[in-house]
Amino acid sequence: MKQIQWDLAILSHEGIARDTFRLKLAAPMLEEMPKPGTFFNLTVPDQRFLLKRPISVFAVDHARKEISFIYKIMGEGTKALSDLRAGDTIRVIGPLGNGFPIQDDAHKVLLIGGGVGVPPLYELGCRLKEAGKEVITVLGFRDQSSVFCEAEFRSLGQTVICTDDGSYGFHGLVTQAIEEHGIEFDVLYACGPRLMLKAVDLKYRDHKTGYLSFEERMACGIGACYGCMTETREGLKRVCKDGPVFRLGEAVYHD
């Protein structure tokens, strides 16, 4: 799909967990579904914010021509976004980024999400299930009040919810939950905090195939400013344009 700027009507905008909102937009221009793992740059409805905020596609309803996003309030920009109401219009640019590839030869697929990295995995899980794959999901949240979309992921297959403080589900890290539940898989897809991605990458890069989506801080979001560079084995790459999805084993970590 050609990347372009759109003014889209807000169909609904609701709180679904602590500081977490689901935003559904009418997207009549949709000719093909945005790939899972791609993102849109959302304009903050406050002129103090020149930069748009990158938010991943959570779900696409192609028949109704609707796109949904889920975002968490992290700072002033996302807080201002949360003031938007159904009936308002929002300017967006997208879809952006490379998205998750679907690997035909893998049957058993593991989705690993952490916090604001959970949303892009849902549309991916839907596509994988449609393609006949067995989908297993392990999601990590800070605490019970931060958990969202458990029912949606359960509808795709086995789902394990982890919390850092043990207030809900498995008490511990997603990597510990995968081990303790004896989860086996052919390919993994992960999105979440960099430390989580690093742990997943270092644990599986030598013997598994997989894809990691890096939600780096961005400026232009369209590949022009080189403000989102990350080091990979093939040199520096722009997360917004060359990513945000990178192969397991591709990233270089110094921290």
Interface residue list for ligand FAD (CB under 6 A) = 39, 53-56, 70-72, 74-78, 97, 116, 119, 215-218, 244
Residues 192-231 that bind ligand FES (CB under 6 A): 218-221, 223-228
With CB under 5 to 8 Å by kind, the binding choice for 174 among ligand FES, ligand FAD, none is none
CB of 196 to ligand FAD, least distance (A): 12
Which CB, 94 or 210, lies closer to ligand FES? 94
Binding-site size for ligand FES (CB under 6 A) equals: 12
Structure tokens at 187: 């390919």
With CB under 5 to 8 Å by kind, the binding choice for 227 among ligand FES, ligand FAD, none is ligand FES
- Under the criterion CB under 6 A, does residue 232 sit at the interface with ligand FES? no
With CB under 5 to 8 Å by kind, the binding choice for 190 among ligand FAD, ligand FES, none is none
Separation CA 49–CA 54 (nearest Å): 13
Residue selected from 30, 212, 240, 248 as contacting ligand FES according to rule CB under 6 A? 240
Residue closest to 56 by CA, chosen among 5, 10, 100: 100
Residue closest to 227 by CA, chosen among 236, 62, 83: 236
With CB under 5 to 8 Å by kind, the binding choice for 56 among ligand FAD, ligand FES, none is ligand FAD
